[in-house]
Structure 1
Amino acid sequence: MQRFAFKMKLKPGHEAEYKRRHDAIWPELKQLLKEAGISDYTIYLDEETHTLFAVQKQSGASSQDLGSTAIVQKWWAYMADIMDTNPDNSPVSVPLKEVFHLE
Structure 2
Amino acid sequence: MIRKSFLIRARPGKAAEYERRHNPIWPELQQVMKDHGVHNFSIFLHEETNYLFGYLEIEDEDRYQQMGNNDVCKRWWKHMAEILVCDSPDSEKGREDILAEVFHMV
TM-score (ref. length: structure 1): 0.90
- In structure 2, the CA distance between the partners of 1:18 and 1:8, relative to structure 1 (3 Å rule), is same
Per-residue deviation, residues 45-66 of structure 1 (Å, max 9, x unmatched): 1111111110000002489732
Once residues 55 and 24 of structure 1 are traced to their aligned partners in structure 2, the CA distance between those partners, rounded to angstroms, is 18
Tell me if the contact between 1:67 and 1:90 (Cα under 8 Å) persists in the aligned partners.
Answer: no
How many residue pairs are counted as aligned between the two chains? 103
> Which residue of 2 is the match for residue 91 of structure 1?
94
Matches within 5 A, 1:1-103: 1-61=1-61, 65=65, 66-86=67-87, 87-103=90-106
TM-score (ref. length: structure 2): 0.87
Unaligned runs of at least 5 residues, structure 1: none
Amino acid of the residue matched to residue 95 of structure 2?
A: V
SS at match of 1:32: helix
- In structure 2, the CA distance between the partners of 1:14 and 1:63, relative to structure 1 (3 Å rule), is farther
Once residues 62 and 84 of structure 1 are traced to their aligned partners in structure 2, the CA distance between those partners, rounded to angstroms, is 26
- Pairwise CA RMSD: 1.9
Percent identity reads 36
Greater than 4 Å deviation, 4+ residue runs: none
Unaligned runs of at least 5 residues, structure 2: none
Once residues 81 and 88 of structure 1 are traced to their aligned partners in structure 2, the CA distance between those partners, rounded to angstroms, is 9
Tell me if the contact between 1:38 and 1:63 (Cα under 8 Å) persists in the aligned partners.
Answer: no
